[in-house]
Amino acid sequence: TAKKDGAGFVLNGHKAVVIGAPWATHFVVTARTSGDRRDSNGVSVFVVAKDAQGVSTRDYPTVDGRRASEVYFENVAVGAEAVIGEVDNGLPLIETVTDEAIAAICAEACGAMKVAHAMTVEYSRQRKQFGVPIGKFQVLQHRMVDMFMEH
């Protein structure tokens, strides 16, 4: 939550599974500034320095080899300049950024699939079985075409 305090706000709460947090210098934080927890209005977005007084983290490895943190906010004071967008109207910004992030992840996945396909084709040209490259076997050609079509 974020409570109004003079010209700024005081943040309290925590965020779980913040990917890349061990290397961050700042966090973009969403917090409820008004309304009930299910209201679409009343959510604001803040930028908070990782080294701000009251911010603490617990870092850990994720199952995919990356690092993440739980981030805790205990009476973290931020000024009005820390607000991104409009107070109580952060949901449209969050939705836009989420849509853009999904598109970026899809682009990354397409690139990874293209590389995997290229590596598979190259391997099938080099690897020999029964004296011929495995890429000459029709069943493997079909599987590589399927890979390409799914890409």
Across 61-88, average pLDDT: 96
Q: So what's the pLDDT on residue 150? A: 73
- Give the integer Cα–Cα distance in Å for 49 and 99: 25
Minimum mean pLDDT range among 17-31, 81-95, 107-121: 107-121
Q: So what's the pLDDT on residue 12? A: 98
pLDDT at 151 over 70: no
pLDDT at 149 over 90: no
- Rounded to two decimals, the pTM is 0.75
H or E element at residue 68? strand 67-78
Q: So what's the pLDDT on residue 148? A: 77
Percentage of the chain with pLDDT > 90?
70
Across 70-98, average pLDDT: 96
CA nearest to 43, candidates 85, 99, 71: 85
- Give the integer Cα–Cα distance in Å for 136 and 151: 22
